[in-house]
Structure 1
Amino acid sequence: MIKVYPAESRYHADYGWLKTYHSFSFGEYYDPNNIQFGPLRVLNDDFVAPLRGFGAHPHQEMEIVSIVLKGHLKHEDSAGHTATTTFGGVQRMSAGTGIIHSEVNPSATEEVNFLQLWFLPEVNGLTPSYERTTFDVAKMKNALLPIVANRPSSREIAHIHQDLTIYLSDLEAGKEITFTQPEGRRIFLFVIEGELTLNGKTTLHRRDSARITEIPTLGIASKQGTRFMLIDLP
């Protein structure tokens, strides 16, 4: 089954310094029918003004992934980690038993747009940890490039404490790729830019998403070209 969530169906809030779009219940937005999809608990599409951001705040028992789409994002935490990321980089934080962190836009002139994803961990009580990885953007071309995984095969892939893999792809106009997974797993797909069609029938546009179950083989094609994120979930 493919269930499409149009971009305009997301919860939207504008705080001036922050414009945010929530794909799942988060903060002041609560929908008992939209809490999570498998272990995927949060997907926020955030736009943060220059020199603004999320000040120091605590997290616990959550795997948190930040993917910058445009601009720069600076992370600091109570364990002493500091890093700044742009597109081509991933920040992964395991909150575990508890950690305090901040995420701010260090630029005085440029807005930052990033996706923040929260996943429930495989087990609770993990020691908090942080990791910044970088990947080769060129490898996204007409391919599914893993950038976060439970069993990373290279230093370009961030390690997450959950049985999932996050892929990014730049699919050129007229091209098609196929994703296959074992039966019983889930697929979450998010269109970052452009448009795509799933299994020749279901079309998604910019910032649309799809929650896919009981379809182990997924054909992804684009007439105009697309950049998208695919998550393989238990």
Structure 2
Amino acid sequence: MIQVYREQDRFKANHGWLQSAFSFSFAEYFDPNNLNFGPMRVLNDDIVAPLRGFGAHPHKEMEIVSIVLSGYLKHEDSTGHSAVTTFGGVQRMSAGTGVIHSEVNPSKEEEVNFLQMWFLPEKNGLAPSYEQTNFDIEKLKNHLLPVVSRNSGEDVAHINQDLTIYLSDFDENHELTFKQENERRIFIFVIEGEIELNGEETLYKRDSARITATQSLRIKANEHTRFMLIDLP
């Protein structure tokens, strides 16, 4: 089953320095029917003004992944980690038993646009940890490139949950079939472009789909398309 969520139906918040679009219930947006998709709890599409950001704040028992789409994002936390990331990099933080961190746009001129995702961990009580990884942008071309996974490897951030996040750039008319085990879930988010799913549904820029009971998913790009696919339990 493919359930489509359109860009225009996302909850939007404009705080001046921050523009956000929420795919799940978050902050002032609450919908009891849109709390999570499996262990996926948050997907925020944020645009932050130059030299602004989220000051020091706490997190606990959550796996947090940030993927920068444009601009630069600076992370600092109470375990002593500090890093600046742009497109081609991934920030993964396991909040575990508790951590304080901040996320700011260090640029004086350029906005930063990033996707932040929260996932429930497989188990609670883990020690907080942070990781920054970088992937080869060229390897996105017509390929599902893993960038975050429990089965981490070179250039793939580790996460404490049985999931894999893939990024991809498809040329127009390119297609492939993604296969997974029964009783798993697929989440797709279109960053730019237009794709068809199993010839049944078409997704456009910033649309998403939540897919269940589907072991074989054919993905075809109707134009050059950049998208994210998450394989979830």
Is TM (by shorter chain) over 0.5? yes
Letter of the 2:190 partner, please give it: V
Q: Which residue of 2 aligns with 1:169?
A: 168
Letter of the 1:16 partner, please give it: G
SS, match of residue 8 in structure 1: helix
Letter of the 1:67 partner, please give it: I
Letter of the 2:95 partner, please give it: A
Q: Which residue of 2 aligns with 1:53?
A: 53
Give unpaired runs (5+ residues) of structure 2.
Answer: none
Matched, 1:107 2:107: yes
SS, match of residue 139 in structure 1: helix
Q: Which residue of 1 aligns with 2:230?
A: 231
Output the TM-score relative to the length of structure 1: 0.99
1:45 offset after TM fit, Å? 0.1
| Structure 1 Cα separation of the partners of residues 222 and 62 of structure 2 | 37
| Structure 2 Cα separation of the partners of residues 198 and 155 of structure 1 | 30
Matched, 1:204 2:203: yes
- Cα RMSD after superposing both structures: 0.4
User: What count of residue pairs does the alignment treat as equivalent?
Assistant: 233
Q: Which residue of 2 aligns with 1:143?
A: 143
| Structure 2 Cα separation of the partners of residues 49 and 141 of structure 1 | 30
| Deviation string, structure 1 residues 71-113 (Cα, Å, up to 9, x no partner) | 0000000000000000000000000000000000000000000
Matched, 1:39 2:39: yes
1:155 offset after TM fit, Å? 2.3
> Runs (4+) of structure 1 moved beyond 6 Å?
none
1:64 offset after TM fit, Å? 0.1
SS, match of residue 139 in structure 2: helix
| Structure 2 Cα separation of the partners of residues 19 and 209 of structure 1 | 19
1:68 offset after TM fit, Å? 0.1
| Structure 2 Cα separation of the partners of residues 223 and 231 of structure 1 | 21
| Deviation string, structure 1 residues 32-73 (Cα, Å, up to 9, x no partner) | 000000000000000000000000000000000000000000
| Structure 2 Cα separation of the partners of residues 141 and 200 of structure 1 | 22
Q: Which residue of 1 aligns with 2:89?
A: 89
Matched, 1:215 2:195: no
1:182 offset after TM fit, Å? 0.2
Give unpaired runs (5+ residues) of structure 1.
Answer: none
| Structure 2 Cα separation of the partners of residues 54 and 15 of structure 1 | 12
| Structure 2 Cα separation of the partners of residues 27 and 187 of structure 1 | 25
| Deviation string, structure 1 residues 150-201 (Cα, Å, up to 9, x no partner) | 011x220000000000000000001101110001000000000000000112
| Structure 1 Cα separation of the partners of residues 123 and 200 of structure 2 | 38
| Structure 2 Cα separation of the partners of residues 65 and 140 of structure 1 | 19
Q: Which residue of 2 aligns with 1:13?
A: 13
Output the TM-score relative to the length of structure 2: 0.99
Letter of the 2:223 partner, please give it: Q
